[in-house]
Amino acid sequence: MGKSLDPQLRAALASRIRYYNDLGIYDFYRRPGQTMEAASVGAEHATLPVVISSPAKSAVTESTSKVPVATLHTIREDIGECTRCRLHKLGRKQIVFGVGNPRAQLMFIGEAPGADEDEQGEPFVGRAGQLLNNMITNGMGLRREDVYIANIIKCRPPNNRTPERDECETCSPFLMRQIEVIRPKVIVALGSIAAKTLLAINASMSELRGRWYEFRGTKLAVTYHPAFLLRDPRQKKAAWKDLQMVMKELGLPIPARNTD
Ligand code: SF4
């Protein structure tokens, strides 16, 4: 007690604890009579110096329930106060990471944060977000918190301009990591920028919609971006068709109504 740790050992311990956190292990204890140094040495030699403290909790359940959250947290930490592309100096207020259920079966991926998202730090919270919520709840019979929502890029482009290709390429690896952690059953790309970036194909929305793509072991469908639907509500019927295709894949009941 009271003895300060060697900085190198402290760093090694912090790294080891983070590793265990990523596995879903959060509670640690020291064996009676064991020093911190001995415990850390034991960890290096994998003699299981770190155990889950509550025997009532199954290690498997604990681990399974916390891995996605812990790992998304790690990805967010890795992004940090990112300056990897020019958008960091073009007026962004904050990074918009993504929101929703880390175990979601359904993931929506849009293009980029807008003004409201930049302000609130959450994707799809403005008018387009309200329409997306409507599509999720009234259309699909789900709740917003059942799905996961993210964008190709995490910082708002100035004046909501279309993200540049190099910005998408620089930022999208973080999204790929989020997808790997969440492992959704279905991804819905919202709009052509999201679809083209994910699928690496250059095609019109009419060519991209209405079919399934294989994307890193996940099924991917393309539909209109809600912001586009606000500008051209006549396309809502087509978007509803896309959602029905997704609902069928997810085994969701399809009500006889539309998303107006
Ligand atoms: S858009 Fe992505 S890569 Fe560019 S600064 Fe923001 S977080 Fe970093």
Tokens matching residue 96: 């918009």
Determine the distance separating the centroid of ligand 1 and the alpha carbon of 172, expressed in angstroms: 9
Domain assignment present for residue 169? The answer is yes
SS3 content of the chain, % helix, strand, coil (to 5): 50, 10, 40
Determine the distance separating the centroid of ligand 1 and the alpha carbon of 195, expressed in angstroms: 19
- Whether 101 and 162 map to the same domain: the answer is yes
In total, how many domains does the chain have? Answer: 2
Question: Of 20, 37, 57, which residue constitutes the final position of a domain?
Answer: 57
- Whether 125 and 145 map to the same domain: the answer is yes
- Whether 98 and 193 map to the same domain: the answer is yes
Q: What value does the mean pLDDT take over residues 42-65?
A: 35
Whose alpha carbon is nearest atom 3 of ligand 1? 171
Determine if ligand 1 sits within 6 Å of the CB of residue 90: no
Whose alpha carbon is nearest atom 6 of ligand 1? 155
Q: Map residue 148 onto helix, strand or coil.
A: strand
Determine if ligand 1 sits within 6 Å of the CB of residue 96: no
Determine the distance separating the centroid of ligand 1 and the alpha carbon of 144, expressed in angstroms: 25
Least confident of 31-40, 80-89, 185-194: 31-40
- Whether 81 and 168 map to the same domain: the answer is yes
- Condensed to tens digits (0 to 9), the pLDDT of residues 84-131 reads 999 999 999 999 999 999 999 999 999 999 999 999 999 999 999 999
Confidence of residue 178 (pLDDT cuts 50, 70, 90): very high
Share of the chain above pLDDT 90, in %: 70
- Whether 165 and 214 map to the same domain: the answer is yes
Pairing of β 213-215 and β 218-223: antiparallel
In this prediction, residue 44 carries a pLDDT of 33
Q: What value does the mean pLDDT take over residues 42-67?
A: 37
Mutation choice for ligand 1 from 79, 87, 161, 176, CB with most ligand atoms inside 8 A: 87
Domain assignment present for residue 158? The answer is yes
Mutation choice for ligand 1 from 155, 161, 177, CB with most ligand atoms inside 8 A: 155
- Whether 245 and 116 map to the same domain: the answer is yes
- Whether 19 and 111 map to the same domain: the answer is no
| Prediction pTM value | 0.75
Share of the chain above pLDDT 70, in %: 73
CATH code of the domain in which 202 resides: 3.40.470.10
| Beta carbons of 167 and 154 less than 8 angstroms apart | no
Domain assignment present for residue 2? The answer is no
Residue 24: Cβ-neighbour burial (10 angstroms; 0-12, 13-18, 19+): buried
- Whether 92 and 146 map to the same domain: the answer is yes
Determine if ligand 1 sits within 6 Å of the CB of residue 150: no
Determine the distance separating the centroid of ligand 1 and the alpha carbon of 237, expressed in angstroms: 34
Domain assignment present for residue 246? The answer is yes
Count CB atoms within 10 A of the CB of residue 97.
20
Domain assignment present for residue 62? The answer is no
Domain assignment present for residue 80? The answer is yes
Look-up: residue for tokens 């294989």? 214
Determine the distance separating the centroid of ligand 1 and the alpha carbon of 146, expressed in angstroms: 26
In this prediction, residue 218 carries a pLDDT of 97
- Whether 26 and 146 map to the same domain: the answer is no
Domain assignment present for residue 1? The answer is no
- Which structural domain, as residue segments, surrounds residue 42? 7-57
- Whether 117 and 231 map to the same domain: the answer is yes
Domain assignment present for residue 145? The answer is yes
- Whether 156 and 128 map to the same domain: the answer is yes
Least confident of 27-31, 220-224, 242-246: 27-31
- Whether 74 and 53 map to the same domain: the answer is no
Instruction: Tell whether the model's pLDDT for residue 166 goes beyond 80.
Output: yes
